[in-house]
């Protein structure tokens, strides 16, 4: 039992490290070869966990090998457009200047119901509102609407706005995040003044506090129960 527990923990941490080294991507954002490697790694890790008779190295070595393959292929695909097209493929235009590209739909075996469903999922229920629809190499559908249907942005209105900043968290569950407070350019005296303005006596009484991108301070009191 202890051996199984140790083997499981070892493989778990190994797989976590390997997946982190593969990059910060969601499953839906993975390229086909990355998804295949992820599935194979999961299968290789499960086998030594289920059968203690199989040496642990029989799972560790193939996992490290697959990680090496993924890193090498990713590096080569960055340097070579040809290799990238072979490994990952290339985007496909399904709608070109408002017209369906029927040859691409047939080649990718996408029927109209599937395409319309994806368009609705992107908040474009009308096909006539779409200028371009591009199926990316990771399977995601990118939509470029017609000029008359695109969302109005600040630039369209010729307005001058202040540069947006990231909000900074300064207190989490009664604990002060000193490094974050320093990033705000404020000190603890300022923090205590702001807390008192919101009816909080101390940092320990605060569940969560942050400085918004507009420079406004927000804090919430910690529940007693």
Is 1.10.15.40 the CATH number for 92-149?
no
Q: How far apart are the first and last CA of the chain?
A: 39
Domain ranges of the chain: 2-86, 92-149, 168-221
The pLDDT score that the predictor gives to residue 56 is 85
The pLDDT score that the predictor gives to residue 163 is 66
SS3 94: strand
The pLDDT score that the predictor gives to residue 120 is 92
Rounded CA-CA distance 75/23 in Å is 12
Q: For residues 133 and 126, is the Cβ–Cβ distance under 8 A?
A: no
Rounded CA-CA distance 127/24 in Å is 33
Asked if the domains at 92-149 and 168-221 fall in one CATH topology, the answer is yes
* E strand or H helix at 222: none
Could you read off the pLDDT tens digit of each residue along the chain, which spans 225 residues?
Answer: 788 788 888 888 888 888 788 776 655 567 777 778 888 888 888 888 878 788 888 888 999 998 898 888 888 887 787 887 787 788 899 999 989 999 999 999 999 889 999 999 999 988 889 999 999 887 889 999 998 888 877 777 777 766 667 789 999 988 999 999 999 889 999 999 999 999 998 999 999 999 988 888 999 998 876
The pLDDT score that the predictor gives to residue 28 is 55
User: E strands, the chain, where?
Assistant: 92-96, 99-100, 130-135, 141-145, 168-172, 175-176, 206-211, 217-221
Would you state the structure tokens that stand for residue 91, as one six-digit string? 């985007």
Would you state the structure tokens that stand for residue 170, as one six-digit string? 């300064």
pTM for the structure as a whole? 0.63
Q: What is the architecture, at CATH level 2, of domain 168-221? A: 2-Layer Sandwich (3.30)
Tell me the CA distances in angstroms from 184 to 128, 175, 192, 199, 214, one per residue in order: 47, 17, 14, 22, 12
The pLDDT score that the predictor gives to residue 27 is 55
């Amino acid at each position: 039992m202890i051996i199984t527990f140790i083997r499981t923990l070892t493989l778990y941490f190994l797989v976590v490290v390997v997946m982190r080294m593969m990059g910060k991507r969601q499953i839906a954002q993975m390229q086909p070869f990355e998804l295949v490697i992820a599935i194979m790694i999961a299968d290789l890790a499960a086998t030594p966990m289920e059968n203690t008779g199989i040496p642990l190295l029989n799972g560790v070595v193939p996992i490290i090998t697959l990680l090496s393959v993924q890193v090498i292929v990713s590096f080569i695909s960055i340097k070579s457009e040809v290799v990238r097209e072979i490994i990952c493929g290339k985007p496909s235009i399904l709608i070109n200047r408002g017209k369906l590209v029927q040859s691409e739909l047939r080649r990718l075996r996408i029927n109209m119901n599937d395409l319309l469903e994806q368009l609705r999922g992107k908040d474009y229920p009308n096909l006539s509102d779409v200028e371009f629809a591009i199926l990316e190499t990771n399977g995601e559908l990118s939509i470029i609407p017609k000029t008359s249907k695109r969302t109005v942005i600040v630039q369209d209105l010729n307005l001058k706005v202040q540069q947006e900043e990231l909000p900074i968290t300064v207190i989490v569950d009664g604990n002060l995040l000193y490094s974050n407070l320093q990033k705000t350019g404020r000190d603890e005296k300022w923090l205590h003044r702001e807390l008192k303005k919101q009816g909080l006596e101390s940092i320990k009484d605060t569940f969560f506090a942050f400085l918004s991108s507009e420079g406004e301070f927000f804090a919430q009191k910690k529940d007693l129960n």
